[in-house]
Structure 1
């Protein structure tokens, strides 16, 4: 039998409300070069029954986290490219056609924006993040210098199969969009599409915490994961023998930014020295001049605001919607007490 070019793997844990929509967003496209595999990660609600009613290829495993479920699904396909679709997200009609048209052996990762929707499926924002259309591997330079590059959440990425093998080495987190995201530019070309091909659902169980005031526990976890991912990537690069040197995690903008937010989330005031170091890192980065000016204003204002207002400003900044300076000021100063 012909091996399909793309496998969509949906891992589900207690998402009985959304998993059917995720499945149908794939099956409705009925593409002969794409197969769907659904893995229920030991759900305790009615998810497994919902999945079985959809009549798709599905498996049920003992609850061990998303990464483990996704690896199980990966072991059930030989497709050279894989999209890990979260069970609360969806693909747009025609997305599979567009994805497959842009895949070839030189592609390590394909990415696309996601339209944000609410619990009922109503659109609540335009495409996030705002990606340009390009194909290159120069993003590796950004990773070496900053540890990151502009990338969408899990459901907005398609990975080449050999890159996914790195997930077997991960023992520090249960997500799948960690080290393989930052390793992708070293494996081949990253193809970026500007058209949104998926929908990212915002609801009360989002692990990202979008739409909520900053949570110190989540921020500490983000920082810890980032440090572990950077250490893992350093080992991967060392194995390549190319002599590539990765910036220390503690010197990156991401680390300094999340540490700045953490101080405020814990009720402390970020120090002037921390704010200056963060702004210096911002201006040394790849953002546009307009973005740098707006982010600088945001950081300076946040640093001097009372803690309650400062937490509101961070919630706005972490939200994946519009981030204009005007919108920021309206969100922080026009809102009531929280």
Structure 2
């Protein structure tokens, strides 16, 4: 690892992940390259994380707890590398990951993304990757997709490498604690988004990183997601480079926002749920979903609007409850809901 001459900085952010952070660090050290640097930021952990980090001998900082985004910005200020990978302390890099990633990094690339193998707390594999390789191969103008829907297929935080100028947007994202919001959403407007359909990292699924497991659908949380999404779109409208600036994105015309509004109206049994259906189905029809997906989404929203409230809520819970959600659905909604 060569410090100031590194092409890539891997920043591990940790808060109370003493059980996992050493595995994350060791997975980076085991890459066996000298053209990257590793920085670990302990975000004021109250468990033994700092002691665990200390015994690895890596460059590490302990700061007052301020949330994931602030910890990552602190790490960003400790490197001048042109590309950054923010690795969550409960995730890992797969062997040979940087051999596949670093040669692909170039000035025109705003973001490089790759698949993550899902594992449990003990490291056992949990089936399909996130995103699934076939989904991440999808090509086309992702900036146009963001304009229409407000989302695109993207992995969780640890499956992305960002160009440094894109990371600078995090400094003005005071409305958000997550690091995978504005920079994921803005990436297609800043340059190329390169997708590697390979499982180059491990995404750990455990009882502390899946919010809402076992709970009924939470309307308050949906409203929080909608407000966060509005803030993200407002930030994007301000931040997109002048040379690639589209017309101002209208958050209330995106699939993400319309869908959440439809769900809330159906749960609350508001009469406007019927008026919202035509616009939502129109957006679904115009998207690049498969015909099967378009039919399923349209039928879902028709059913939740017309079924009795108990059945409607049950359908929504089945679709959105995290422990039932497929890896592909998780990947699709990360931008809107956080990780």
Q: Give the structure-1-normalised TM-score.
A: 0.86
Which residue does the alignment assign to 1:99? 101
Distance 2:101 2:267 in 1: 39
Q: Is the 8 A contact 1:134 1:193 kept in 2?
A: no
1:98 Cα deviation from its structure 2 partner: 0.9
Distance 2:163 2:108 in 1: 9
Aligned pair count?
A: 322
Which residue does the alignment assign to 1:321? 326
- Superposition CA RMSD, Å: 2.6
Distance 2:130 2:316 in 1: 18
- Specify the SS of the correspondent of 2:199: coil
Which residue does the alignment assign to 1:49? 51
Which residue does the alignment assign to 1:229? 232
Task: List alignment gaps of at least 5 residues for structure 1.
Answer: 325-338
Alignment of 1:64-79 (within 5 A): 64-79=66-81
1:316 Cα deviation from its structure 2 partner: 4.1
- Specify the SS of the correspondent of 2:300: helix
Distance 1:304 1:54 in 2: 57
1:84 Cα deviation from its structure 2 partner: 0.6
- Specify the SS of the correspondent of 2:5: coil
Check 1:12–1:46 CA distance in 2 against 1; reply closer, same or farther (3 A cut).
same
Check 1:274–1:205 CA distance in 2 against 1; reply closer, same or farther (3 A cut).
farther
1:186 Cα deviation from its structure 2 partner: 1.4
Which residue does the alignment assign to 2:178? 175
Check 1:248–1:51 CA distance in 2 against 1; reply closer, same or farther (3 A cut).
same
87-96 or 212-221: bigger deviation: 212-221
Which residue does the alignment assign to 1:161? 164
Distance 2:220 2:174 in 1: 20
Distance 2:270 2:46 in 1: 39
- Specify the SS of the correspondent of 2:208: coil
Q: Structure 1 residue 133 and structure 2 residue 137: aligned? A: yes
1:267 Cα deviation from its structure 2 partner: 8.2
1:295 Cα deviation from its structure 2 partner: 2.0
Check 1:63–1:323 CA distance in 2 against 1; reply closer, same or farther (3 A cut).
closer
Q: Is the 8 A contact 2:129 2:327 kept in 1?
A: no
Which residue does the alignment assign to 1:191? 194
Alignment of 1:16-31 (within 5 A): 16-31=18-33
1:246 Cα deviation from its structure 2 partner: 3.1
Deviations 1:49-90 (Å, cap 9, x if unpaired)? 111122211100011111111011111111111011111112
Deviations 1:118-148 (Å, cap 9, x if unpaired)? 2222222311223333777x21122223322
Higher RCO by CA contacts (8 Å cutoff, separation 6 or greater): 2
Task: List alignment gaps of at least 5 residues for structure 2.
Answer: 330-339
Q: Is the 8 A contact 2:41 2:71 kept in 1?
A: yes
Q: Give the structure-2-normalised TM-score.
A: 0.85
Q: Is the 8 A contact 2:115 2:155 kept in 1?
A: yes
Match of 2:151 among 148, 152, 155: 148
Check 1:180–1:11 CA distance in 2 against 1; reply closer, same or farther (3 A cut).
same
1:192 Cα deviation from its structure 2 partner: 0.8
Which residue does the alignment assign to 1:332? none
Check 1:208–1:32 CA distance in 2 against 1; reply closer, same or farther (3 A cut).
farther
Q: Is the 8 A contact 2:266 2:273 kept in 1?
A: no
Distance 1:273 1:97 in 2: 52
Q: Structure 1 residue 59 and structure 2 residue 64: aligned? A: no
